Structures are given as structure tokens and as C-alpha cells.
Structure 1
Amino acid sequence: MQFRRTVIALLTLATFGTPATAEGEKAGAFDYYVLALSWSPNWCLREGDARGAPECAEGAARGWGLHGLWPQNERGWPSFCRTNARSPSRSDTAAETDIYGSSGLAWHQWKKHGTCSGLSSAAYYDLAREAYSAVTRPVVFRALDQDIRLPAGVVEEAFLKSNPDLDPDMITVTCKANQIQEVRICLTKDLIPRRCGTDVIRDCTADRALFTPLR
């Protein structure tokens, strides 16, 4: 009996203690979008340089790039959904490099997230571009000329000041390896800012997160 109770407790924790993900769900079955903007110089420092990513070259001057537009549920998120939509061509993904940074990322975002949108690949990319273009990226970060360490809340405050239609519970800042990683903004299916779900709304609590300047 005790063993059975322990198993049930562990299963309950696995179900309710961590964000729930799902793969292969039906396309279009989600609650809202998360727009994820990645600070490119920090990504390059963590991963891109080791890959020889062209967007990490000196002079690239890439700042807040689009990581993705992700279908999200109030708790958890779908991925790699079942869809009859045609996959994008190489030319389709190449046309998205100005915001994604690479055609490879544009392709991956379609396969993992875009397939869950219920849209065609062209419509999904158009919607992602519209969402990305609607956000004002604070110019102050592009003016940095050296590494700094700052509280993640400073980044959030800069976005809130530059985007008066956003409230604090509509945006979150994430960190990785004690670096500023991403700004994530929650949007309705019509791209109207909305409150983030409980597994998205958690902010990075680092008070000395690394923020590196443009290259």
C-alpha cells in the first residue's frame, strides 16, 4: 500500500509540478501565443560562436532577434502537431532570416511550433513577422559598448516603457547561464497583449545577469 501511495505521489508531482508539454496534438488547439525575442549577442556567446553561426560575426549588429511565435496553453504547450499544411521551401525559410537570424531556425520554428498554429507556413511566418514588428525594442540596449551586469527587471522595465500597451504580467524575462536570454510577450490569437499563463509568467530573479553589446 505504501509503495502504491508513493507511486501516485510521484505521478502527481510529475503532472502538476512541472510545465506540461505535448507532441503530435491537433493543429490549432491552443489558448494563446508567446512571442520570444532573444538577445543575439548573448546567444552567440553561449551557443552561436561554437557553431560558427553567421549572425554572430563581427559587424552583424543583431540585437533582439525573433526566436519564435509559440502556441501556448494556459498550462503547458503543444509541439510538432499533426497538420496537413505544406512545409516551407528553402526559399520560404531563407526569406525569414532577417528576423530569425538563420533559415535553419525559421525551419525549426515551423516544425516545432508553427505546425500547431493551424495556419499555413506562409501565414504563420506572416503572423510571426507582424507580432515581431509590433513590439518596440528599446534602443538603449543597442547603445551599449561593453559587457554589463544588471537585474533582469531592468530589461523588463525598458520594454514596458517602450511599449505602453504592455503590463508587467504580460511580459517576462528569462535567463540562462546567468545571462539575459529572452524577453517573452504573451498575445492572444489576434496578437493583442494578454496576461501570461502561470508557467510563462515567472521572471528571472538574477540581479547581476550578463548583457553583452552588439557585435
Structure 2
Amino acid sequence: MKKLLFILIISLSSLWAKGLVQAIDSCEVYNNIKHTKNINNQRLKIGNSYQIIREQNSQYYISIKNTSVPNRWVDKKCFKNSANSNFTNKRVSKQQLLALSWQNAFCETHRYVKECKNNFSKRYTDTKFGLHGLWPQPRDNIYCGVSSENKKFDKRHKWGKLPSLNLTPEVIKELKEVMAGYGSNLHRHEWIKHGTCTNLTPNSYYKKAISLTKQINDSKVGQFFTQNIGKSVTLEQIRFKMNASFGAGSGKKVEIRCQKGMITELWIHLGSGKDNIKDLLKDGKDIYSRCKNGKIDKVGF
């Protein structure tokens, strides 16, 4: 009996951890460990320190000051020096690839996908590029610090089973606009496979990717695609518009991906460490494009 009691005490003590942790992301904090209830929609404040009351698997039970229900559950990855957030990718490249999707063409070849079943509704990506992903290079620089279980979910396209990213309401709103596949949890897939290798938080990663997408859409390149919907255009024309928008040589950093005669994606090879796409293009690598021309598809089947 005494032996069993001793084991129980040791087991319980392993669940309780006193100390402070510093938030590195504005994650939601929940009233239950299943993350289904958040009274008053409370979130961590980046930079603030929080008292750990209890630790269980990938969760902390922490104390939140100045709220009616102060004790909350939250993912460890939201804190500095936690098992997940402390991972540093030593292979972070100076090169990255911004993959932009022309959603109308994507849906022509993927009609079974959730976001393509109703390809007639008015949306941002009807006339502009959508965000596919921002990929650290080289291409095999993927799944950094990701568990084997989450890799398995991702590779089997069970993206709904991947961890929630605890994105801020502002980021979610913008991401839903520029990423048509948000409803299919494309954002979770892109983070697990590529974002984990950037040494950024999910919020910072997507803020950057959204900004780069909009910089392209607001440029002469984006305007060129919008004005030529339904027409066929050439790689030479697209590269000319890139040069006009971002400076001589920018066009050589771009390749177009095509399928069934349609331009499905624009791949832009960038440097890193900056936020302005014009500066990033200066450090990007020149690239060969197999596809030389294609149609800019319009919305609908």
C-alpha cells in the first residue's frame, strides 16, 4: 500500500510544475484541456510571463491575472523554451519560394476539393492570386521539429487532425481572404510542412506570406493578370511586368506552372530577411521556367 501511495505521489508531482514561462504568441487560453471553451475570449499577451500551475503532455495549466476565471489551459508551443517553441532550424536558408495560386485554374483541375465545389461565388481569388505557401529552400527543408504522428496526418491529407495554430482574429480574417483553401485546413498543412522550418511563429509566418501575396496583387503583375482574364499570355509578358514593377532582373526570378493549357501558379524565388518583395527579389535566384505560356482562367467551370 505504501509503495503504491509513493508511486502515486511521484506520478502526481510530475504533472505539477512551478515557474514562469514567457509568451511568444498570442494564443487562446481555454477553460478545459480539450480547448472547446474560452470564457471572455482570453488570449496570451506576447512578452508577458505566466505562472505554471500544472503541466500535462503538450499543455500548460497557467494563471491569468485580472480575469474572472484565471486558471486556463494552453499549448506549450506558445511559450519561449517550451518543447515545441524551442526548436531552432539550423538549416534556415537564405532563399525562399513564394507560391501563388490562380484559383480558377486550380479548381478546373480539382473540382472535387471543398473550396472548388462552388466555384461561382464572389471572392478575392476570383481576380487575384491566392496564397499557396511560402517555402524555405531547398525543397527538402521541410517538417522541422514535427512529430511522426503529425507528419503522418499531413501526408495522408488529414489536415483537420493537425494542431490548431492559434492565429489571431486579424490574421485569420486576412488568411481566409487570400487563401481559398483555408476551409480545407491548407494553412495547417503549409505550416506543418514548411512554416516550421522558418523559425517564425505561425502568426508571423502568415503575416509575412499575406503581405507578400498582396504586394504582388497590387503590382503591375497582378493588374496584368486581372486585366487579361480569359486570355492567353506568355512568360515573356509576365517577366516584363515583373521588371516594370520591381526593377530590372526581377522577371528572371519568376516561373509559371501550367496544367491543361492554363496557368495554375506563379512561383517567385526570393531572398530572405526582408519584408519588401522588391528587396527580396534582388537576392532571389534566376530560374528556368518550363511553361512558356498559358491561359488566365476565369471563374466558373
TM-score by length of 1: 0.70
Structure 1 residues 102 and 115: alpha-carbon distance in aligned structure 2, compared to 1, 3 A threshold: same
The structure having more radius of gyration, on CA atoms, is 2
> Structure 1 residue 141 and structure 2 residue 225: aligned?
yes
Match of 1:196 among 261, 285, 299: 285
Distance apart, 1:180 and its partner CA = 0.9
Q: Quote how far apart the aligned CAs of 1:130 are.
A: 2.7
Question: Which residue in the other structure is 2:244 paired with?
Answer: 161
State the partner residue of 1:205.
Answer: 291
In structure 1, the gaps of 5 or more residues are 1-24
CA distance in 1, matches of 2:180, 2:137: 23
RMSD over aligned Cα atoms:
3.0
The size of the alignment, in residue pairs, is 182
Point out the more displaced range, 54-63 or 125-134.
54-63
Equivalent of 2:186 in 105, 125, 129: 105
Matched, 1:66 2:131: yes
- 1:71 and 1:116 in contact (8 A); partners too: yes
Whether 1:29 aligns to 2:91 is yes
Question: Compared with structure 1, are the counterparts of its residues 149 and 131 closer, same or farther at alpha carbon in structure 2 (3 Å cutoff)?
Answer: closer
Cα-to-partner distance string for 1:78-134 (whole Å, 9 max, x where unaligned): 1111169x8503776743211112321212111111011111111111221232233
Give the corresponding residue for 1:7. Answer: none
Q: Distance in 1 between matches of 2:215 and 2:242?
A: 12
Distance 1:166 1:134 in 2: 18
What is the TM-score with the length of structure 2 in the denominator? 0.52
- Aligned counterpart, 1:77: 140
Per chain length, whose mean CA-contact separation is higher, i.e. which structure has more relative contact order (CA < 8 Å, sep 6+)?
Answer: 1
Q: What runs of 5+ residues in structure 2 fail to find an aligned partner?
A: 1-86, 148-162, 275-279
- C-alpha separation in 1, matches of 2:208 and 2:109: 29
1:38 is matched with 101
CA contact (8 A) 1:27 1:117 kept: yes
